[in-house]
Amino acid sequence: MSISSLENVPFENPFVDELRGENSGEKGSRQVPGYCYSRVEPTPVQRPHLLAWSDELGEFLGIEKPAERGPAVNALAGNLVTASMKPFAARYGGHQFGNWAGQLGDGRAISLGQVAAVDGTRWEIQLKGAGPTPYSRRADGRAVLRSSLREFLCSEAMHHLGVPTTRALSLVGTGDAVVRDMFYDGNAREEPGAIVARVAPTFIRFGNFQIMAAHGEIDNLRALADYTLRHHYPELGAPGPDAYVRWFEEVARRTAVMVAHWMSVGFVHGVMNTDNMSILGLTIDYGPYGWLEPYDPDWTPNTTDFGSRRYAFGQQPRVAMWNLMALAQALGPLLPDAEVLREGLNAYATTLADTQHALMLRKLGLTPQFPDEDRGLTQALPQALAEPEIDMTWFFRQLSQMAPALVADAGNEDALFAELIAASAYSVAADADRNLRQWLHRYAARLRQEPADAEAIRAGMLAANPKYVLRNYLAQQAIEAAEAGNLSALNRLMHVLKTPFDEHPEHEALAAKRPDWARDKPGSATLSCSS
């Protein structure tokens, strides 16, 4: 398949062509009952210019990297709508922090349609920050460089970590200023605007189905479910009650796999509202996310959630189940007996436990030989990591390097463990590491029961434990540099995050634990939902 410039790429529009939408063209915020989407065109910006591009994703989609300015960048900014595009904003609802929020929808995201990748699969391209839509809820529909850069980097970083995720094709500066109050504390200021081109097979969310059920729009609900089955789950058979049950179970299974991957790398989504849950089990909507630095199951990067910590790291598996229950309730009107969806919830719980355990064994260089012993070992680790506030990423990477010495059993385990903990811990409280030391001795004894040779174990662990993750302080440094017109930090981060399991000795500083200065600096530890 040939590589083309974006303005010459043909778009397909099945969501618009097959589902009920409104086409008034009005961008003003309003309720849109009875429809799945609204046709709306992006609002042009002053000076669109390319800031970043995902080479791998572009090649996969058959789209060539554009020059800094020109027709392709105009399309990525919403200034150019080609003849084959049918831009739309989707209507959905959702539970936000556990409370029903009614109609939400794409308030600043506008989908251009689908393109065919080099393997024939179809991928939707969506511009986030492209201007107001009927779902903007009195906002301007724009996004700032700060949040857009974070979304661009994290989408691609998660993909290269092997976590199910939406992707990001480009980051475009708009030349426009956007006013935002970063921490909702009355200190609004102008910030540079930007637009991310997000990419996924679909951006349909749990909330798309919830809004239909909440308004009694059963025909629309069934039409959307059937569309989703035909286009994204064709292997489950023709749409109908039996297929709906199989579909819900598969959504639950994929959601469990996604959350298990989050937990395995220490990722905290930060705002797991039902409208931020992909029907494909992909990580979607990178807002106030973060990576565990001090290991703390109660940590959330989201300042809006500090009161209840509903979306804290350790709560993510439970919240995903809650969200699936909300989806099951929305799908209930399509079935003679909604109780049959309970099997999907059971599948979620089983898949989550099994996937988490399998991922943890891989991180520890273990094979499933002793099920009961290994479950006890992996289940005891989180508490042991929490007490001395261990840096999860650093700990597992250093443990990987240490594996051959542990297998050799040279009699210096205590010294090795002391070195590992000293390098990984944020806490210096006396005796805080006692349980972790005991756990490490158990682990070392178990590791020596593995049949593989030490170097093979080490190589497998290094392939499972990244050296580089997108720590918030690194993202903030890249943001501050980009706001000043310097993209070198962004490019450097993008380079290492594409191969996060490699060493990159020239970029060793990007693997460092969070420095003390970043602990309380805005944007370097915690964030709000503000864009």
Active-site annotation holder among 106, 140, 176, 275: 275
Which tokens sit at 233? 């789950």
At residue 75, does pLDDT exceed 70?
yes
Tens of pLDDT along 204-218?
999 999 999 999 999
Quote the distance between the C-alpha of residue 392 and its chain's center. 18
- The continuous run of DSSP H or E covering 193 comes out as strand 189-200
Packing angle of the helix pair 316-331, 206-214 (nearest 10 deg): 40
Tens of pLDDT along 386-400?
999 999 999 999 999
95, 273 in Cβ contact below 8 A? yes
Tens of pLDDT along 500-511?
999 999 999 999
Extract long-range pairs of 356-362: CB within 8 Å, 24+ residues apart. 356/260, 356/263, 356/264, 359/260, 359/261, 359/263, 359/264, 359/464, 360/264, 362/460, 362/461, 362/464
CB atoms within 10 A of CB 14: 15
Closest CA to 319 of 269, 358, 359, 356: 269
Mean pLDDT of 369-383: 95
Average model confidence (pLDDT) across the chain: 95
Give the least confident one: 132-146, 234-248, 388-402, 485-499.
132-146
Burial class (CB within 10 angstroms; exposed 0-12, middle 13-18, buried 19+) of 155: buried
Q: How confident is the model at residue 1, as a pLDDT?
A: 59
Query: What's the chain's length in residues?
Result: 531
Closest CA to 497 of 122, 183, 268, 159: 159
Q: How confident is the model at residue 27, as a pLDDT?
A: 84
At residue 450, does pLDDT exceed 70?
yes
Look-up of token digits 């005891």: 380
Tens of pLDDT along 77-88?
999 999 999 999
Burial class (CB within 10 angstroms; exposed 0-12, middle 13-18, buried 19+) of 149: buried
Question: Strands 167-180 and 99-103: what pairing?
Answer: unpaired
25: confidence class by pLDDT, cuts 50, 70, 90? confident
Domain segments of the chain as ranges: 6-205, 207-360, 366-462
111, 89 in Cβ contact below 8 A? yes
139: confidence class by pLDDT, cuts 50, 70, 90? confident
DSSP-derived 3-state class of residue 504: coil
Tens of pLDDT along 96-118?
999 999 999 999 999 999 999 99
At residue 483, does pLDDT exceed 60?
yes
3-class DSSP string for 66-130:
CCCCCHHHHHHHCCCCCCCCCCEEECCEEEECCEEEEECCCCCEEEEEEEECCCCCEEEEEEECC
410: confidence class by pLDDT, cuts 50, 70, 90? confident
Give the least confident one: 281-290, 392-401, 404-413.
404-413
Helices marked H in 266-370: 316-331, 342-363
Q: Which residues pair with 95 in a beta bridge?
A: 100
In DSSP notation, 9-71 reads: S--B-HHHHHS-EE-----S----TT-SEEE-PPPP-SS-EEEEE-HHHHHHHTBPPPPSSSH
At residue 404, does pLDDT exceed 80?
yes
At residue 184, does pLDDT exceed 90?
no
Q: What is the pTM of this model?
A: 0.97
531: confidence class by pLDDT, cuts 50, 70, 90? low
Integer Rg of the chain from CA:
24
Burial class (CB within 10 angstroms; exposed 0-12, middle 13-18, buried 19+) of 48: buried
Q: How confident is the model at residue 530, as a pLDDT?
A: 59
Mean pLDDT of 361-378: 96
Higher-pLDDT residue of 410 and 175 is 175
Tens of pLDDT along 241-286?
999 999 999 999 999 999 999 999 999 999 999 999 999 999 999 9
Q: How far apart are CA 138 and CA 117, in angstroms?
A: 36
Residues of the chain with pLDDT > 90, as a percent, come to 91
At residue 230, does pLDDT exceed 70?
yes
Mean pLDDT of 64-86: 98
Q: How confident is the model at residue 183, as a pLDDT?
A: 64
91, 220 in Cβ contact below 8 A? no
Known catalytic residue at 374: no
Question: Strands 99-103 and 93-96: what pairing?
Answer: antiparallel
At residue 240, does pLDDT exceed 80?
yes
